[in-house]
Amino acid sequence: MDLFIINFLDGLIYGLLLFMLSSGLTLIFSMMGVLNLAHSAFFMLGAYFAYQISLYLGFWVGLLVAPPIVTVLGALVERYGLRQVHQYGHVPELIFTFGLYFVIEELVQYIWGKNFVEYRAPESLDFVAFTLAGGSIQAYKVFMLLCSVAIFLGLYYVLARTRVGMIIQASLSYPKTVESLGHNVPLVFMGVFGVGTGLAGIAGVIAGPTLQTYPGMAFALGSIVFVCVVVGGLGSLFGAFVASLIIGWMKTFAAAYNVGAAEILIYFGFEYPDNVYYHPWRDLWTLTLPQIGPLLPYLLLVLILIFRPYGLFGRRDA
Amino acid sequence: MVSYTSRYSNNILKSLLPWIISTLILIILPFIFTGGGSVTIMNQIGITIVMAMSYNMLLGQGGMLSFGHAVYMGLGGFIAVHIMNFVEDGLWLPLPLLPLVGGLVGLGMATIVGSFSTRKAGVVFAMISLGIGELLAASCIVITAFFGGEEGVSGDRTWAPPTFGIEFITQIEVYYLIAFWVLISIFLMYLFTQTPVGKMANAVRDNPERAEFVGYSMRWVRYVSFCGAGFFAGIAGALFAINFEILTEENLSMGMSFNILLATYIGGIGFFIGPVIGAVGFTLLQTVLGLQTDLWALYTGVIFILTVMYAPSGFTGIVTMHYVPWQLGKIHLLFKPYAKILVPALIFVAGLTSLIELTNHVRHHSQETSITLYWITFESNTIIPWIVLLAMTLGGFYVCRVFAKEVVDAWGEANYVEKG
Amino acid sequence: MKLFKKFASFVLASGVFFSSSTFADTVKIAFIEPLSGPYAASGSQGLAQFKFVAEDQINKKGGVLGGKNFEIIGFDNKLSAKEAVIQVEVAIDQGIRFIAQGNSSGIANAITDHVKKHNKRNPDKRVLFINYSAVDPALTNDKCNFWHFRFDANADNKMDAITDVIAGQPDIKKMYLIGQDYSFGKAVAAAAEKYLAEKTSVEIVGNELHPISKVQDFTPYARKIMASGADAVITGNWGADMLNLGKSLTEAGYKGPIYCYYCFGVGITSVFGEKGVGMLKAVGEGFHNPAPSDEFRQFHKRFKAKYPDNDFDQPRVINALSMLALAIDKAGTADDVVAVAKALEGMTFDSKLLNTKVYMRPQDHQAIQNLHIGDHSADVEFDMDNSGYGMKIFKTVEMASMDSPTTCKMKRP
């Protein structure tokens, strides 16, 4: 039971981290109808900027300064890139963000090299916060958790209580009307894209020290974020929140329990083969849950898209 | 009557001419590029051409953006390698027929996946293709009995019964086999664009609602295009199996799908011939530029972004844009401004890439000071090359800006249709 | 036509054109590794070491065959089997007869397979495959061939050495095996199971594989390992999978040792820093603390002067190139690779520089050499990643796995 609770906590932390990424993505989609394939690249930029700043001014300055830089970069990309492509339609926009991902990844390697960089959690958070069932939880993880919750509450407040939020909210349900009311000025587009990528930047700053900062980090986390957003329902912030948590727990619990296919097959009355390594179904017999854990989100993605193309909480077709 | 027949045969000749020329080019090419390495690269180009053309059936003709097209190529290829191994154990199948089997595998898979993925276009289709792609790429590692794990499955093509005395031992024999299938595939895909379904695919892409009103089911049209694309991807996979004799998880991976998207887009979607140009250009970028610089992927990415932003119809689009001035007989107006801008543009590109390479060199090979760029060797620790390159970059850029106006004016003039 | 042909060959193979015109009379070795993309770090580090060793150890000492120099030419395989095969063909086209590769057993497998077929089909253009780093045991067992030579110890040999050390540590009672779900990870797990059962009474409390490069958060694995009560962990993980596993284990409160294959260099040493001390224990032939010889100190100084950002972490490169040079001299030719291969088989190389012996076993072309277990430590003469930390030799197994069995049935031409 204790182990269950600690896995539950780990999954929560991971899920909330995914939410930080997917919130920005879904925000951008709800306003602009663009699925930003370069989102995880901005996440990586956040981590690298924060690393560079932390070398001179420490972690906390990095945390404060790096996300705004990413925001500005995102806004510039919208202003000078995406807006140019917008006239050609949605598919070219998707392709543009895909190309952007490619170039950012290459640029990061060009600037910071291909090795891991030494981006660390601050000394002040480098201690064990509490211990549960023999496993300890680092203070930094608790800090991550608090940050994600703060972002969720902050976003919620902005969306529910402010004028900007009202525009965004309205655009979730009635994008056409909002457009015709004259709100869809290019500035709002630029702002939303900037803030959305900025959220990815914050996630990068915070996740960099635990998930490691290296040129492959965008690729490693890239497509899982799309899964969160699409499963939750494109454009739905709450949906992205729920889906991120589901996927966080899904991956954590799948990795935590070594359920094997063999046990299930034996339960159904099949006989364990004598020499399993030469058996034609050897891959099935030796299969375990952790082996396929990272696949489960994609399975979920495909199933959701087949049976409920607008996602769990989406009101619009993707 | 006589004039009718001659015009008729004239038309046939005219429509056959591109095919005859392509065939001749394919036959002659190996006599120009003789080395084994060149032939292997040309084989790779041929395979990429079939694959990119097949991708264009989805994206260019059907408006479906796929992130998992490599799946159909990979499956066709894996089955083809397994069949090569069965042939080794006594199954009778001449090698030149193997691509057909690969194609059928691709078709089969596409029939299944397409039945649910083509219901919607746009983001839903893209995300389903991503999901399926990730699922299959990952199961490649898990299902080792079929996919052979990360080291893949290898075969030997020479066990197949000789076809007309050819045993496909050398690369050049394989080249002609691939060239044959490239021609056949392109021809079949061309025929597809001429069928009602093929023509409707374009209509569905451009104006789905109207296409529906005319009485065509968008979904059905997309489904047929999707299956066709799967078939040709499978052929490409089997050709890959024949050429490389090994299939690995990489063949099903996202990276492979991404590369095909890059190649097709740079060449120009929406043009029948675009993917061919893209496949040739991209493979050369990858293999030949890759021999010259570690930063080839950066350059490819930048070219891609520039294409998406300023030439959404790709390289082929840029060329075909000149058809109107040509028709108007005004193409000559463009020669001078083009020639004028070419020189500073080349200086700008050379300067900028050299600066990038130089910076990269200094950062990563700090003690090796001599560097060769564009066949000129110099010392990177002296200030002069930096100044020269910076001047080239900035100067080239400035002169380009000045001349650009001239090009724009000339372009307007060349496209201007006089009244009356 | 002739002019056009010249121009065409120039365009398609400008690389060929230039390299062959500048150096006329050299023995060329194609170094086919990822030189671009996210995995290029190990590729470019290897290239630096190859180039330096060729220059410093072969060419400056007079080269081979009375004055011919070694020339290392880098080719980018982008960590792709397909690209590797293309680059092998391009290299053969340039008249290169020696192919060096090592990062990724999957690629090595594609290359050895291709080389085997190529040599059968083109007897006039045969090549040798110098595998300096790919450790999948199959390459010198079921998939062995006459053209492949491995200069690194294979995964089995290394596990043999690790378990020798574990056998001497009575406080290790429970062992957890974790690895990446592919041939190398499986080979490590199988070898660990076998040798632990043979040599020790250690109980294996966990044996699992996780998807390669797909796990971002290793915390649940760390919890499992903690819950199993393991005293030590064995892993073949590399890259981000190694780093994340180790970090998650420390964060979860794990205090025991991690026996690993690839837990040093390419930034891993520097990121672990102080936290890796007492935890990371790596196996390899290439740890230099304490320094093997004075000559090595000088050598290392010259290397660092030329490549200050790189580590010299693969001394097997010295063995590979030196032994190749000796074999070429003995065979009296660098073109007839059969003669070179026959000279290389069964050769014993005495390295003064590394103060060690290397024996190329003829029955499977597996180099037998001393293997060390190193501790991640700050008390080192030669650090890694310029971090102040490096691998300090804790125990050495002399000529490890000298008479280990092999399933190789070598067919000689």
CATH code, domain with A175: 1.10.3470
Query: What amino acid occupies position B306?
Result: L
**For residues C350-356, average pLDDT:** 89
Quick check: C365 pLDDT over 90? yes
Long-range contacts of A7-11 (CB under 8 A, 24+ apart): A7/A252, A7/A253, A7/A256, A7/C220, A7/C223, A8/A249, A9/A132, A9/A137, A10/A252, A10/C217, A10/C219, A10/C220, A10/C223, A11/A245, A11/A248, A11/A249, A11/A250, A11/A251, A11/A252, A11/A253, A11/C220
Domain count for chain B, please give it. Answer: 2
Per the structure, the complete domain to which residue B159 belongs is given by 33-253
Asked if residue B19 is part of any domain, the answer here is no
Per residue in C242-265, pLDDT tens?
988 998 998 888 989 999 999 998
Q: How far apart are CA B113 and CA B334, in angstroms?
A: 49
Asked if residue C35 is part of any domain, the answer here is yes
Q: Do C165 and C279 fall into the same domain? A: yes
Q: Do C267 and C211 fall into the same domain? A: yes
Rounded-to-5 percentages of helix, strand, coil across chain A: 75, 5, 20
Asked if residue B3 is part of any domain, the answer here is no
pLDDT band per the 50, 70, 90 thresholds, residue C147: very high
Q: What is the pLDDT of residue C4?
A: 46
Q: What is the pLDDT of residue A72?
A: 96
Binary contact (C217, A136; C-beta < 8 A): no
Asked if residue B284 is part of any domain, the answer here is no
Asked if residue B389 is part of any domain, the answer here is yes
Q: Do B97 and B227 fall into the same domain? A: yes
Per the structure, the complete domain to which residue A111 belongs is given by 2-253
Measure in Å the smallest separation between the Cα of A227 and chain C Cα atoms. Answer: 15
Q: Do C255 and C177 fall into the same domain? A: yes
From the candidates C10, C32, C49, C78, which should be mutated to test the interface with B, based on the most B CB atoms within 10 A? C78
Q: Do C147 and C28 fall into the same domain? A: yes
**For residues A310-314, average pLDDT:** 82
**For residues C195-222, average pLDDT:** 89
**For residues A27-52, average pLDDT:** 90
Binary contact (C267, A214; C-beta < 8 A): yes
Burial tier of B116 (Cβ tally within 10 Å: 0-12, 13-18, 19+): middle
Size of interface B-C (CB pairs under 8 A): 136
Tokens 């966080």, located at residue: A248
From the candidates A142, A210, A228, A283, which should be mutated to test the interface with C, based on the most C CB atoms within 10 A? A210
Asked if residue C295 is part of any domain, the answer here is no
pLDDT band per the 50, 70, 90 thresholds, residue C2: very low
Measure in Å the smallest separation between the Cα of A204 and chain C Cα atoms. Answer: 13
Beta bridge partners of A179: none
Tokens 């006589």, located at residue: B2
Q: What is the pLDDT of residue A236?
A: 82
Q: What is the pLDDT of residue B251?
A: 87
If we measure between CA atoms, which residue out of B240, B264, B243 comes closest to residue B64? B264
Strands (E), C161-279: 174-180, 203-210, 232-235, 258-260
- Whether the CB-CB separation of B219 and B204 falls below 8 Å is answered with no
From the candidates C28, C90, C96, C122, which should be mutated to test the interface with B, based on the most B CB atoms within 10 A? C90
Q: Do C363 and C392 fall into the same domain? A: no
Q: Do C305 and C172 fall into the same domain? A: no
Element of type H or E holding C284: strand C280-284
Using a CB–CB cutoff of 8 Å, tell me whether A81 touches chain B. yes
Binary contact (A309, B295; C-beta < 8 A): no
Q: Which range among A41-50, B175-184, C4-13, C143-152 shows the weakest confidence by mean pLDDT?
A: C4-13
- C128-131 and C98-101 as β-strands: parallel, antiparallel, unpaired? parallel
Inter-CA distances, C317 with A80, C38, C321, Å: 49, 23, 6
Instruction: Write the CB contacts of A310 (distance below 8 Å, at least 6 apart in sequence).
Output: A233, A234, A316, A317, A318
Per the structure, the complete domain to which residue C308 belongs is given by 2-154+301-368
Q: What is the pLDDT of residue B170?
A: 80
More confident residue, A104 or B7: A104
Asked if residue A304 is part of any domain, the answer here is no
- Intervals of chain B under pLDDT 70: 1-9, 36, 364-370, 418-420
Inter-CA distances, A83 with A32, A76, A172, B59, C229, Å: 11, 10, 21, 22, 57
Asked if residue A302 is part of any domain, the answer here is no
Distance of CA B131 to the CA centre of its chain: 23
Chain C, residues 25-84, CB within 8 A of chain B, namely: 35-37, 40, 44, 75-76, 78, 80-83
Element of type H or E holding B296: helix B296-310
Cis peptide before C290 (omega within 30 of 0): yes
Q: How far apart are CA C267 and CA C264, in angstroms?
A: 8
Quick check: C17 pLDDT over 60? no
DSSP code of C153? Answer: P
Facing B138 at nearest CB: one of A85, A280, A295: A295
Which residues of chain B make contact with C13, given a CB cutoff of 8 A? Answer: 35, 37-38, 288
Instruction: Write the CB contacts of C326 (distance below 8 Å, at least 6 apart in sequence).
Output: C343, C347, C349
Q: How far apart are CA B267 and CA B279, in angstroms?
A: 7
Binary contact (C121, B40; C-beta < 8 A): no
Which residues of chain A make contact with C213, given a CB cutoff of 8 A? Answer: 216, 220
Chain C, residues 296-325, CB within 8 A of chain A, namely: none
Q: What is the pLDDT of residue B144?
A: 81
From the candidates A106, A212, A259, A283, which should be mutated to test the interface with C, based on the most C CB atoms within 10 A? A212
Binary contact (A14, C252; C-beta < 8 A): no
Asked if residue A312 is part of any domain, the answer here is no
Measure in Å the smallest separation between the Cα of B4 and chain A Cα atoms. Answer: 44
Q: Do C165 and C107 fall into the same domain? A: no
Q: How far apart are CA A243 and CA A250, in angstroms?
A: 10
Binary contact (A301, B130; C-beta < 8 A): yes
Instruction: Write the CB contacts of C236 (distance below 8 Å, at least 6 apart in sequence).
Output: C155, C179, C180, C184, C185, C187, C188, C189, C260, C261, C262
Using a CB–CB cutoff of 8 Å, tell me whether A35 touches chain B. yes
Measure in Å the smallest separation between the Cα of B174 and chain C Cα atoms. Answer: 13
The first and second tokens of residue B52, run together, are 């990119």
**How much is the pTM?**
0.85
Q: Do C175 and C194 fall into the same domain? A: yes
pLDDT band per the 50, 70, 90 thresholds, residue C20: very low
SS3 A318: coil
Q: Do B117 and B246 fall into the same domain? A: yes
Size of interface A-C (CB pairs under 8 A): 122
Binary contact (B309, A84; C-beta < 8 A): yes
Which residues of chain C make contact with A14, given a CB cutoff of 8 A? Answer: 216-217, 219
CA triple A239-A243-A245, angle to 5 deg: 120
Asked if residue C409 is part of any domain, the answer here is no
Largest Cα separation within chain B, whole Å, is 81
Domain count for chain A, please give it. Answer: 1
CB atoms within 10 A of CB C346: 12
Angle, to 10 degrees, between the axis of helix A2-32 and the axis of helix A237-256?
150
Q: What is the pLDDT of residue B4?
A: 55
Which residues of chain B make contact with A215, given a CB cutoff of 8 A? Answer: none
Per residue in A159-206, pLDDT tens?
788 887 787 667 656 667 777 777 766 777 888 899 999 999 999 999
Facing B302 at nearest CB: one of A98, A103, A309: A103
Which residues of chain A make contact with C39, given a CB cutoff of 8 A? Answer: 114
Which residues of chain C make contact with B77, given a CB cutoff of 8 A? Answer: none
Asked if residue B386 is part of any domain, the answer here is yes
Facing B141 at nearest CB: one of C110, C122, C212: C212
**For residues C203-232, average pLDDT:** 88
Asked if residue B7 is part of any domain, the answer here is no
Using a CB–CB cutoff of 8 Å, tell me whether C121 touches chain B. yes
Q: What is the pLDDT of residue C346?
A: 92
**For residues C228-239, average pLDDT:** 92
Q: How far apart are CA C68 and CA C303, in angstroms?
A: 22
Q: Do B176 and B62 fall into the same domain? A: yes
Binary contact (C181, A291; C-beta < 8 A): yes
**For residues C79-101, average pLDDT:** 89
Asked if residue C160 is part of any domain, the answer here is yes
Asked if residue C296 is part of any domain, the answer here is no
Q: How far apart are CA B235 and CA B98, in angstroms?
A: 8
Q: How far apart are CA B298 and CA A42, in angstroms?
A: 17
- Whether the CB-CB separation of B355 and B393 falls below 8 Å is answered with yes
Using a CB–CB cutoff of 8 Å, tell me whether A280 touches chain B. yes
Size of interface A-B (CB pairs under 8 A): 115
Asked if residue A57 is part of any domain, the answer here is yes
Q: Which range among A4-13, A140-149, A210-219, C8-17 shows the weakest confidence by mean pLDDT?
A: C8-17
**For residues A56-81, average pLDDT:** 93
Asked if residue A162 is part of any domain, the answer here is yes
CATH number for the domain that contains residue C251: 3.40.50.2300
Q: Do C100 and C217 fall into the same domain? A: no
Sign of CA dihedral B396, B397, B399, B404: positive
Binary contact (C210, A6; C-beta < 8 A): no
Facing C117 at nearest CB: one of B32, B156, B294: B156
Q: Do C226 and C344 fall into the same domain? A: no
Asked if residue B97 is part of any domain, the answer here is yes
**What is the percent of chain C where pLDDT is above 70?**
94
Asked if residue B18 is part of any domain, the answer here is no
Sign of CA dihedral A135, A140, A142, A148: negative
Measure in Å the smallest separation between the Cα of B290 and chain A Cα atoms. Answer: 14
N- to C-terminal Cα separation, chain A: 39
Using a CB–CB cutoff of 8 Å, tell me whether A99 touches chain B. yes
SS3 B204: helix
Domain count for chain C, please give it. Answer: 2
Q: Do C182 and C201 fall into the same domain? A: yes
Binary contact (B291, C214; C-beta < 8 A): no
Angle, to 10 degrees, between the axis of helix B274-284 and the axis of helix B254-267?
120
Q: Do B51 and B134 fall into the same domain? A: yes
Q: Do C213 and C266 fall into the same domain? A: yes
